[in-house]
Amino acid sequence: MEHHRKYRKGVIVRTSGVAWCVTVVAAASLGLVACSSGANSGSAGGGSTAGKKYTIGVSFDLLNAIRQAEKSSIQSAAQAAGYSVVFDVADQDAQKQASQIQDLIAKAQVNILPSFNCTGIKLKLLNALFNGRHCVVNENAVQATGLEGACHTGKNAEEFKELIVRLYAEPFIAAAIESRKGLLSGLYNNEENTRKLIRWIWEE
């Protein structure tokens, strides 16, 4: 996980659901804008925002009308405040897409992972926790997973925005990496879970 601290800042939004998530992704853009404004006023992030590019990774199919609406919400929120965002859209080739999405997750300062329903552990959340930095979720995304301590949870769009603003300027430090490693290795260790399955099937 050491690579968490080496790459440029950005935000990747992975969505599920419709209306609620449109609100959240719009809030994500406003969060970026607030980060930019904070930098202009000398807060954590520092310096001028002139020439800076804010990238939002998009891992969904933009041909889908609902996804287009989400993309438009992000653009509108940013433009209303006088800023623009750059969309790094996943390639349509499956192999290239997988590689590109992993790159986006690793480079993003904040991974935003809301879930519209509570259906157990989300693979996209595990992926972001193993390979990314800060993870912002809602309660549905982490309920009954044991991963609450590794994530930052918001209940609504306003709380999401506040978390994004704070985490965008907050380094993902070694202590956080070690804490996450400890949590994940205890709950989602493939080698240990494979050994358990072998014992259950053949040894007990």
* HSE of 32, CA atoms in CB hemisphere, 13 A: 34
Identity at 167, one-letter amino acid code: L
CA–CA gap between residue 200 and residue 190 (Å, rounded): 15
- What is the distance between the alpha carbons of residues 74 and 23, in angstroms, rounded to a whole number? 9
**Exposure on the CB side of residue 75, measured as CA atoms within 13 A:** 9
Domain boundaries, the chain: 2-172
Q: What is the pLDDT of residues 165-197, one digit of tens each?
A: 999 999 999 999 999 998 888 888 888 888 888
Percent of the chain at pLDDT > 90 equals: 24
Which H helix or E strand runs over 76? helix 65-80
- Non-local (6+) Cβ contacts of 6 within 8 A are none
Q: Which helix (H) or strand (E) holds 185?
A: helix 174-187
Per-residue pLDDT tens for 130-158?
999 999 999 999 988 889 999 999 999 88
Of 37-41, 54-58, 90-94, 171-175, the range with the lowest mean pLDDT is 37-41
Q: What is the C-alpha separation between 33 and 25, in angstroms, rounded? A: 13
pLDDT score for 1: 43
Residue 12 host element (H or E): strand 11-13
CATH of domain 2-172: 3.40.50.2000
CA dihedral sign, ordered 36, 7, 3, 195: positive
Mean pLDDT along residues 27-40: 50
Q: What is the pLDDT of residue 162?
A: 92
